[in-house]
Structure 1
């Protein structure tokens, strides 16, 4: 017996979520569009890879999966608050901006790339100096 889509117990829930997203976004939002690759101009980490951010008292560590990317095709930038990872291969383009959980010293950054896994470590910046008002 073939299952009919009309028998999907979550169909009403998905329709309601889609309606709310359309209302909120002010455009046609289609939950059924498969994201990934270069479909619909959407590229990046949110669909094809996983990014983890870990924070300790002294450091922030970002780990990102970049399957199929060569090390020389990775471009990293940091302004102390946001880490930007741009990378590409013949099949995929990644462009992700990651808001870091703490202010970091961008000049302390070190990065390694091994077997499709990028790891970036940054030292936390010193706290801002207190200013006495006179």
Structure 2
């Protein structure tokens, strides 16, 4: 006998949770997940890896779980707005693009990797310079 999803008593609950998550994460959240951005897709971090972003007055910290990855196999790149984390283990390849909550000085980055946890810290960039109109 085939299960009919329309008879699922939790269907309305799951739809409401999905609606609230989309509202909280922004309307384009489903599209970002489908493209593999910020924790989605078949490769990359997906559901097995957790990425946290913490913003303070003068720094931005990104913490990512990379289970089974050797430090030498981690490649980090930043353009001041997006951090790209690429890593490989014997079983998986990770590729994550994390949009940072503020403009950062990519040259100030420091990174540590300990027991499968990557932590990258950036100084925030100074505000844009004022331009006098003459």
- What CA distance in whole angstroms lies between the structure 2 residues aligned with 1:44 and 1:127? 33
Query: Which one is further off, 6-15 or 88-97?
Result: 6-15
Alignment RMSD: 2.8
Shift of 1:45: 1.7
Corresponding position of 1:83: 83
Taking structure 1 as the reference length, what is the TM-score of the superposition?
Answer: 0.73
- What CA distance in whole angstroms lies between the structure 2 residues aligned with 1:53 and 1:70? 22
- What CA distance in whole angstroms lies between the structure 2 residues aligned with 1:46 and 1:106? 25
- What CA distance in whole angstroms lies between the structure 2 residues aligned with 1:63 and 1:12? 34
Q: 1:58-88, CA deviations, whole angstroms, 9 ceiling, x for partnerless residues?
A: 1000000000100000000000000000001
Shift of 1:10: 2.2
Equivalent positions of 1:1-134 (< 5 A) are: 5-6=3-4, 8-11=8-11, 42-134=42-134
- What CA distance in whole angstroms lies between the structure 1 residues aligned with 2:47 and 2:92? 11
- What CA distance in whole angstroms lies between the structure 1 residues aligned with 2:13 and 2:44? 27
Taking structure 2 as the reference length, what is the TM-score of the superposition?
Answer: 0.73
- What CA distance in whole angstroms lies between the structure 2 residues aligned with 1:119 and 1:56? 15
5+ residue gaps, structure 1, are 18-24, 30-35
- What CA distance in whole angstroms lies between the structure 1 residues aligned with 2:95 and 2:14? 29
Corresponding position of 1:20: none
